[in-house]
Amino acid sequence: MHTRNASPDKRLFYAFCALLVWLPLPLASNRAWAWSIMEVWTACLFVLWCWLYFRNKVVISKSCTAARYVLLFFGLWLVYIALQLMPLSSSILSQLSPLSLSHWSALDNNSVVASISVDPKLTQVSLLLGISYFLIFFLTLALVTNRRRLKTLAITLVCSGLFQAVYGAVMTMSNWEYGFFVKKTLYLGVATGTFVNRNHLAGYLEMTMAIGIGLLIASLATESGATTMKRKLLNLFRLLLSAKARLRLSLVMMVIALVLTHSRMGNTAFFVSLFITGVIGLVFSKHATRSMIVLLVSLVIIDILIVGQWFGFEKVQQRLEQTSEMSENRDEVYRYGLEQWQDYRVTGSGLGSFYAVFPQYRGVDVVGYNREAHNDYLQFATETGVIGLVLLALITLVSLTAAILAHYRRRDPLMRGLSFASIMGILAILIHSTVDFNLQIPANAATFVVLLALAWVSLSLRNNKIKSQVSLISQ
């Protein structure tokens, strides 16, 4: 037998899984040194995969073929961001972005550098990050080539979310209050894990819990009906000792951590996305079962009424009730941000340049340093204009459609479960992004990209596990 030669990219796959676990650890990779590691890591994996490809050791997966248009949209988006950096003549720039021309003219009338981006250095940084996200999307499609790898990837992300949940809860409840080897100075008394911001931990948990719920749904098909009391008791004991029970306990612990973040939109996005995806699953799935309905209802009842009450769900509720225009300045940021977008509507001011342009628009009623817009839609709109926003929308909505189609068409429980996870995770971040900036955080943006790719994997991956096992035995 030549089982080792059958998977020449096996080590690449495990290195990719290790990358996904690493990303949230160093402050969500939201530091230059940390995201540089991500960029080098992803580039090395891609180069090694290409080396295997040109040596005919691996082939383009069906998932890559199925997602070819999304890969095209993603590539066009990166090309567009690169165009924001190109030096342009005054006549061309005046047509594309008059305010960008005014910016460069005010700095230096004789400057030879005049680009759409008003901050080329940060746009370069953002472009490199964008290339890494594209490679993560591609590597997910290219490396997840069978059911075993798909399940391994899902379990890896759930374990990563579980670690963040347990670490964040322990730090909060023990009053140790450490982040990534550094004592916390912000968000004391709430769970942040190794993230800096509690809302970003909440966003990460939304996505990893969605994957955990997908795995639970996939496991429902393995249940067998019990006709006698003895059989029911045996099934109960097996359940208590099974991986399914450990997974359910892990989800409970992750919900505890989500509640302990006291993130208003984080908790709202999780339960709203669970409800919407549950409805989609029941309406559009050909294979919805009573077990799936019971599972979804139990998730809501147990997590809200029991876990939430014990671990401070009422504090989240209080924060929601106390939210007002007087206590928040996000409304003012949104208003001034919309004015900024009106001036850079078509081409944007350059990816990553929001903080450089926003001070020109904000009023005296906005205090503090606003590096982010606290609204991913608004920030991408101001930085990349309508062109960039449309391309990002196509990437996301086409992938979401693929996940819904997979949940409707596929009979394989694992594919249906992870298509459910993809739908729920995507919807959770789309909801959360209305008031926060999870997609500006490398660890969360990368995980979101993996969810987009999982939509295509769950749609196109074929169940060849049994056939491969039979062929190996015959050898």
pLDDT digits (tens, 9 = 90+) for 343-365: 999 999 999 999 889 988 887 77
Which range among 135-149, 180-194, 225-239, 251-265 has the greatest average pLDDT? Answer: 135-149
Helix (H, G, I), strand (E, B) or coil at 183: strand
**pLDDT tier, 333 (very low <50, low <70, confident <90, very high otherwise):** confident
pLDDT greater at residue 57 or residue 300 = 57
Can you give the pLDDT at residue 12? 97
**pLDDT tier, 283 (very low <50, low <70, confident <90, very high otherwise):** confident
Give the span between the Cα atoms of 120 and 416, in whole angstroms.
43
**DSSP codes, 316-337:** HHHHHHH--TTT--HHHHHHHH
Give the span between the Cα atoms of 453 and 459, in whole angstroms.
10
* pLDDT exceeds cutoff 70 at 3: no
- Domain ranges in the chain are 19-224+241-462
Can you give the pLDDT at residue 227? 53
Can you give the pLDDT at residue 4? 45
Mean pLDDT of the chain: 86
pLDDT greater at residue 356 or residue 322 = 356
N-term to C-term CA, the chain: 7
| Mean pLDDT, residues 402-420 | 93
Give the span between the Cα atoms of 439 and 23, in whole angstroms.
14
Amino acid in position 455: A
In the block, residue with structure tokens 């009842």: 301
Can you give the pLDDT at residue 464? 57
Can you give the pLDDT at residue 475? 38
Give the span between the Cα atoms of 376 and 382, in whole angstroms.
10
Task: Label residue 241 exposed, middle or buried (CB < 10 Å: 0-12, 13-18, 19+).
Answer: exposed
The 10s digit of each residue's pLDDT in 147-186 is: 999 999 999 999 999 999 999 999 998 888 888 888 888 8
Do the beta carbons of residue 122 and residue 353 sit within 8 Å?
Answer: yes
Whole-prediction pTM: 0.90
The CA distances from residue 37 to 29, 42, 50, in Å, are 9, 9, 20
Q: Where are the alpha helices (DSSP H) in 97-196?
A: 98-107, 120-143, 147-174
Can you give the pLDDT at residue 232? 55
**pLDDT tier, 243 (very low <50, low <70, confident <90, very high otherwise):** confident
The 10s digit of each residue's pLDDT in 11-20 is: 999 999 999 9
**pLDDT tier, 220 (very low <50, low <70, confident <90, very high otherwise):** confident
Give the span between the Cα atoms of 431 and 421, in whole angstroms.
15
Can you give the pLDDT at residue 311? 53
| Mean pLDDT, residues 282-287 | 69
pLDDT above 70 covers what percent of the chain? 80
| Mean pLDDT, residues 400-418 | 94
Phi-psi region of 184 (alpha: psi -120 to 50; beta: other; left: phi over 0): beta
The CA distances from residue 19 to 45, 139, 198, 230, in Å, are 10, 11, 22, 46
Can you give the pLDDT at residue 159? 97
* pLDDT exceeds cutoff 70 at 369: no
Q: Which of 369, 346, 349 is nearest to 357 (CA)?
A: 349
Give the span between the Cα atoms of 18 and 182, in whole angstroms.
23
Give the span between the Cα atoms of 156 and 162, in whole angstroms.
10
